[in-house]
Structures are given as structure tokens and as C-alpha cells.
Structure 1
Amino acid sequence: MSRERAYHHGDLRAALIGASFELLAEVGLRRFSVAAVARRLGVSSAAPYRHFPDRDHLLSAVSATAARDLRSAILAAAEDSGPDPADRLAAVAGAYFRYVVRTGAGLHVIYAPELYRVPDEGRREHTRALMDTVLELAAATDVPTYQQSVALVEAIIAVGHGYTSLFADGFFARGSSTVDAVAARAVAAARALIRAEHAPSVP
């Protein structure tokens, strides 16, 4: 029996999403294609189109899954970090780093510009929930305004994404740094940034 025939009903759809994460982790968003996902699964190039009409719709399903799973990872990391709001927010950088290193699906995938053309309310619900969660963690650190919460979230995500890019580029290879070690550095950098944000201004 061919691998294609081995998939039934929703199995192929789930397999396509799973293989998409593997491909993103290996080659990134620019080289991501439906044909490459099909080759990875050993099915015909036409098979994915029974579930997704084009690349953007497949990517939308990946985005929804990534937003949901990243939110869960962030909530778990925040819970593990203890009760201090600054520690809980700093944990976002480490959770983001770990997730993107594992899946390749960072915010550049979750909020890919081409997805705005896809009318996928399920994806929108997951992406809203993800951002609401991180904004709530930022607001809990007692920043004075919503705009400052947004700016703080951007900075924390930039820290996590920056460490992810450096790790992918082999920047830490000379020191043989593990994922755990680099994640801890991302959290420490985020914590320093939060402290600086809350430091009293000097007249």
C-alpha cells in the first residue's frame, strides 16, 4: 500500500501540518512549499490540495497550530518561573526561543503577511489569544499604559527572536551552548530589559 493510500479522512491533513513544521524548522519560510511538504510525506503533489487549496491555506493551518502551542508553552514557562511578574514576562523570551528552535514557526510564520488574505477565523482566534496572553503578562509588571505594554512585548519578543536567529546562524557553536543554556541567556537578557524599563528615571 502506498503512503498516500495509508492516509484516511483527516489523517493526511494532520500529517501535512506536522510535516510543515518539520520543513519550516529545516529550511525556513522562504523555501516552504506545498510540493516540498508532499515530498516529505511521500505522497503525490496533488494530494495536499484535497485539504488545502494553496500554500497560504496550509500555512494558515500551521499558523493556528503554532499560535495555540506557543501560547501554551508561554503559559507553562510563566507558571514555572514563579509569582514575580517580571520573571513571568522574562520567561516569554525563553519559551519563544525553545519553541522556534524546535519548530521553525516563530511570529514571522504566525503573522506572515500572506495570511491576511486567508479568511481563517480559527487562526485569528488563536493569534489574538497568543498576543493577549503576552500583553497580560506585560501589564502585570505595572507599566503605566497599554502602549508601553505593547512596546515591552515587542522588546521581549525581539530578544527571543534575536537569540533564535543567532542560534540558527551558529553564533553559539564555538561554546557548544545547548538549547537550555541559550534559552536561559534569553531569559536573563529579557529580565535585564524589564528591570531597565522599570528603573526610576534620573533627573
Structure 2
Amino acid sequence: MPGGPRQRGRYHHGDLAPALLDAGLDQLAAVGPARFSVAEVARGVGVSTAAPYRHFADRDGFLAAVAARAAERLADAVRAAATDDDPRERLAAAGGAYAAAVAERRVGFDVIFSPALRAARDPGLAEAGRALMELFLEPAREIAGDRALELTEQVVALAHGYATLDADGFLTADRVTDEPTAVRARRAARALIDGAAPS
């Protein structure tokens, strides 16, 4: 009948799993892992609440797949920005790209590595999370050696702070500069890196 699930134009036959993942990303950004609802995602795509379970074993499996897709998209954004030969610039660029992507999508390390998702022990999510983290750790190792994890933590915390404050409007309400979040976060990350790195 007109207006039924397959007439809504939200996905084409055979493309339901990607459509569910995209809609799941939107919901994960809006409500977080604890309030994530497979039924709400299905309704948003225009299919029955049972349809997702033809592609994903259970709620945790679906949620892990959504978070893995978020990690992959974040990694793509970071990888595209962090191309400089200088590891200090590469790590700063990773921080800037992370801040911009999380400000826009509201899904960052806090969601990807949340306790709710760790309990799922999903290998795909674990691999996507490791690949994303490695984009920060690799230049940090070149810069700081055995202090690479500490430096990575500092850069990620700084970038995530920029992303969160920007997404919540704090940095846009009375902005000191019109520079984008990525530029400000990258510059702040570079200052942190230069201060923390051995001369």
C-alpha cells in the first residue's frame, strides 16, 4: 500500500543493513548506548521492529556494529587530515579532525569505548577502535617514545573537550574567533604536543 515501508524511499531492496547502520548512528549520537533502541531505529527506517534481527543477532550485536561504523568514519576523517611527514603536525591534525567530526556527529571515544559496548566483546568493534586509536598512537610514539600513551590521552582529551563544548554551543555562543573547531583544536593540540615533547 502507498506509504508502506518499501515505498518510503529510505532504502533500496538489499540495502537494509547499511540503512539500519546509518539510522543507528543517528540514534546513537542522540541518545547514547544506554538508551539505544533497535525498535526506534527500525521504525525510523520504515521496517518492522523484527527486520534488524535478520542482519544482526541481537541488540548488542547491532549496537556494536553501529559503534564500529562510527569508529571507521572517525578514522577516515582523521586519516584524511593527518598526512604530514612531521609526527607532531600529524598528531595535531588528528586531534583537529577528531574534534570536528565529534562536534558534528557526537560519537567519539567516550561512546566507542563505553562500558556498555565493551561488555559486548564484539571483535569488529574492537578492531575498529584499535585502528582509530593507532592513528593517534603512531605519531605519538615517534614524538614521545614510551610516553606515547600519555601524550595520546592528553591530545584526545583536549580534542574531545573542544568537540563537546562546540557541539553544546559553548564555543559558538560568544566566540572569540570565527575559526572552525578543527583549526582551534589542532592549534591547541600542537601547543600541547610541543610542550610535552622532548626538545
Q: TM-score w.r.t. structure 2 length? A: 0.84
Superposed CA offset, 1:15-53 (max 9, x none): 110001122333444432212212221222222222223
One-letter amino acid of the counterpart of residue 144, structure 1: G
Asked if residue 26 in structure 1 is aligned to residue 30 in structure 2, the reply is: yes
Which residue, out of 97, 100, 104, partners 1:102?
A: 104
Seen in structure 2, the aligned counterparts of structure 1 residues 114 and 86 have a Cα distance that, compared at 3 Å, is same
Contact 1:64/1:122 (8 A) holds in 2:
yes
Q: For residue 8 of structure 1, what is the amino acid of its counterpart? A: H
Aligned counterparts of 2:169 and 2:27: Cα–Cα separation in 1 = 19
Partner of 1:86: 88
1:8 corresponding residue in structure 2? 13
Q: Are 1:160 and 1:186, in contact at CA under 8 Å, matched by a contact in 2?
A: yes
Asked if structure 1 preserves the Cα contact closer than 8 Å seen for 2:17 and 2:52, the reply is yes
Match of 1:128 among 130, 153, 157: 130
What is the CA–CA distance in structure 2 between the aligned matches of 1:7 and 1:179, rounded to whole Å?
41
Q: Secondary structure at the match of 2:79?
A: helix
Answer whether contact 1:98 1:179 (CA < 8 A) is retained: no
For the pair 1:63 / 2:67, whether they are aligned, the reply is yes
Letter in 1 for 2:169: G
Structure 1: runs of 5 or more not aligned: none
Pair 1:163 & 2:162 matched:
yes
Aligned length: 194
Aligned CA RMSD, in angstroms, stands at 2.4
SS at match of 1:52: coil
Shift in Å, 1:101: 2.4
Measured after TM superposition, the shift of residue 185 of structure 1 is 1.0
- Which aligned pairs between 1:143-162 and structure 2 lie closer than 5 A? 143-145=144-146, 148-162=147-161
User: What is the one-letter code of the residue matched to 2:197?
Assistant: H
2:67–2:112: 8 Å Cα contact kept in structure 1? yes
Partner of 2:51: 47
Mark the runs of 5 or more structure 2 residues left unpaired by the alignment: none
Change in Cα spacing, 1:177 to 1:31, as seen in structure 2 (3 Å) is: farther
Helix, strand or coil at the partner of 1:83: coil
TM-score by length of structure 1 reads 0.83
- 2:183 corresponding residue in structure 1: 184
Does structure 2 conserve the Cα–Cα contact (< 8 Å) formed by 1:25 and 1:105?
Answer: yes
Pick closer, same or farther for the CA change 1:38–1:178 going to 2, 3 Å: farther
Question: The residue matched to 1:172 in structure 2 has which SS?
Answer: helix
